[in-house]
Each structure stands twice: as structure tokens, then as C-alpha cells.
Structure 1
Amino acid sequence: MEELTRTEERIMQTLWQLDLAFVKDIIEHIDEEPKPPYNTISSVVRILEKKGYVGYKAYGKTYQYFPIISKADYAKQTFKKVLNNYFDNSATSLMSFLVQEEQISEEELEKLRKIIG
């Protein structure tokens, strides 16, 4: 799975929320002002289609886009890369980092303890 740029990932987040969308729908759901130009978003969506993340249905010259890669699959791949590249594939190193950086609360730690058994 090819890595996404920040812009591509932002567009994918929108497509995962909408499930089916025309470019104008994607633009409407982007929370930034001024809204990005139509041609910019259209170009990014076409790049995502070439990378295999997005499919489309053609209605004449208009295209309705949908995600091919699920958010869960993308998250799994991204997490594996982070775990491998930054934590030497060690869940212990990751948890230690989260605890040290106070990114995980006592309540969350307790829940994890129960899951682990």
C-alpha cells in the first residue's frame, strides 16, 4: 500500500466519512476557509484513484468517488509502519512511550490490563 501525503489522507478521511462523494461533496466537508479549488481536489482524488485507494462511478463527465481501501486497513498499515520505524516493532516500547509522554491515562491503562488478562 503506497503511503499518502497529508492532503491525500485528509481527502481519504472525508471519503471514509461520506462513503460516496462527488468532488463538490468533498469540498463541502473540508473544514478550512477558503475552500480549496475544485481542480485541486479533483487532481488529488485522481491521484488517490491511481494509487488504488479510490474507485469511481462515471455519470457522463461527472464522477462519483468511493474508498476502495477501508479506514481500518489503512490504520492497520500505518500503525505497523509507526511501530516498526519508531518502536523497533515492540509494543512494550510503544506503551512505555505513551506512558512517559502522558498520552495514556490511568483509566486507559487499567482497561488495557483487563484486555491483556
Structure 2
Amino acid sequence: MEELTRTEERVMQILWKLKKAFVKDIIEAMPDDPKPPYNTISSVVRLLEKKNYAGYKAYGKTYEYFPLISKADYRKTFFKKMFTNYFDSSVESLLSFMVKEEKMSDEDIEKLKDLISKNSKK
């Protein structure tokens, strides 16, 4: 699975949310102001189609796009890559980062402890 650019990922986030969309729908769902040009988003969606992230249904010269890969599958693949490359596959390193850098609340830490406790009993 090929990694997405930031712009491609933003478009995929919208496709995952909308489930299916025309280019105009994707542009409308973008928080940007001013909105990006139609041709730019159309090109990005075509790249996603070439990378097998999005499919389409043609209505004459108009295309309705939809995700071919789930958000969960994408997250799983690229989290593994990030975990390996940035945390050396160390859970301790990841959790240390989360606690120190992300300033986790005491409530978040307790939830994490409960999750670990529940999973260790299985």
C-alpha cells in the first residue's frame, strides 16, 4: 500500500466520511477558505484512483468517487510503519511519548491502565 501525500489524505478523509462523493461534494466538505480549485481536487482524486484508494462510478462525463480501502485498514498499515520507524517498535517508547509530549490527563492515564489490565487478563 502506497503512502498518501497530505493532500491525498485530506481528500480520503472526506471520502471516508461521505462514503461516496462527486468532486464538488469533496470541495464543499473542505474547511479551507478559499476552497481549492475544482481541477486540483479532480486531479487528486484521479491520483487516488490510480493508487487504488478510490474507485468511481461514471454518469456520462461525471464521476462519483468512493473509497476502495477502509480508514481502519489505512490506519493499521501506517501506524505499524510509524510505530516501527519512530518508536523502534517499542510500546514503552510510544507510551512514554504519549504521556510526556501529549500531556495526557490523569483520566486518560487511568483509562489506559484499565485497558491494559483488561487485555492482560485475556
If the TM-score is normalised by the length of the shorter chain, which range does it land in? over 0.9
Which residue in 2 is equivalent to 1:7? Answer: 7
1:69 is displaced (CA, Å) by: 0.8
Q: CA RMSD in A?
A: 0.9
Report the TM-score when normalising by structure 1: 0.96
1:48 is displaced (CA, Å) by: 0.3
1:102 is displaced (CA, Å) by: 3.7
Deviation by residue 1:16-62 (Cα, 9 ceiling, x = unmatched): 11101000000111111111111110000000000010011011111
1:4 is displaced (CA, Å) by: 0.4
Aligned residue type for 1:43: S
Aligned residue type for 1:51: K
The percentage of aligned residue pairs carrying the same residue is 69
What 5-or-longer segments of structure 1 have no aligned partner?
A: none
Which residue in 2 is equivalent to 1:16? Answer: 16
Cα distance between partner residues in 2 of 1:100 and 1:86 = 15
Poorly superposed stretches of 4+, deviation over 6 Å = none
- Pairing 1:45-56 to 2, within 5 Å after superposition: 45-56=45-56
Cα distance between partner residues in 2 of 1:59 and 1:66 = 14
What 5-or-longer segments of structure 2 have no aligned partner?
A: 118-122
Cα distance between partner residues in 1 of 2:53 and 2:104 = 31
Aligned residue type for 1:67: P
Which residue in 2 is equivalent to 1:98? Answer: 98
